[in-house]
Amino acid sequence: MDEIFDLFGDPVPENWGKRGRPQHVPSQQNRNRVSMLVACGWSNERIAAALFITQPTLRKHYFSELRYREVARDRLVAGMLTKHWDLFMAGNVAAGKEFRDLLKENDLMLYGQTTQPQQQKPAKEQKLGKKEAALAAALNPDVGTPLGELMARRQGLNS
């Protein structure tokens, strides 16, 4: 018997339109989605909620995707690296930059680091307003000018 598909290309369950809720039919798109969510560290409860199915249905139809939870992240990253490398070799410069960033993350992971060490930036000097700058200039006159020299003598700075 030929399988019947709906408008979205998903197979129509046998009891469609009959009494009871139709059985969930897994699609390749949903299998890929479950694999990606497992790789992202989602729990079974959260994945089932995202697919609008129960946890027993998730375990029944997607057991092979759930079985590889330990290596799912590595498989996802490997697929991303492969895709970016193929795009880069085809001449996509942006894919090359993204590949380089993924490679840096991979190297950090190999050495047990989660993020790149942050370089210490020098503390920014606090900018003064007009009044504060004028007061600082008045308290520290420029002795290289005649007026500054006179002000310094009056303040007793140049004795």
pLDDT grade for 100, boundaries at 50, 70 and 90: very high
Higher pLDDT, 156 or 94: 94
Cβ neighbour number for residue 32 with a 10 Å cutoff:
11
Q: What is the pLDDT of residues 124-157, one digit of tens each?
A: 888 888 998 888 888 888 888 888 888 888 887 6
Residue 11 main-chain phi, psi, to 5 deg: -70, 140
Q: What's the sign of the alpha-carbon dihedral 99, 101, 102, 108? A: positive
User: What pLDDT does residue 44 have?
Assistant: 93
Report the distance separating Cα 96 and Cα 100, nearest Å.
Answer: 6
pTM, whole model, 2 decimals? 0.53
SS (H, E, C) the chain: CCCCECCCCCECCCCCCCCCCCCCCCCHHHHHHHHHHHHCCCCHHHHHHHHCCCHHHHHHHCHHHHHCHHHHHHHHHHHHHHHHHHHHHCCCHHHHHHHHHHHHHHHHHHCCCCCCCCCCCCCCCCCCCHHHHHHHHHHCCCCCCHHHHHHHHHHCCCC
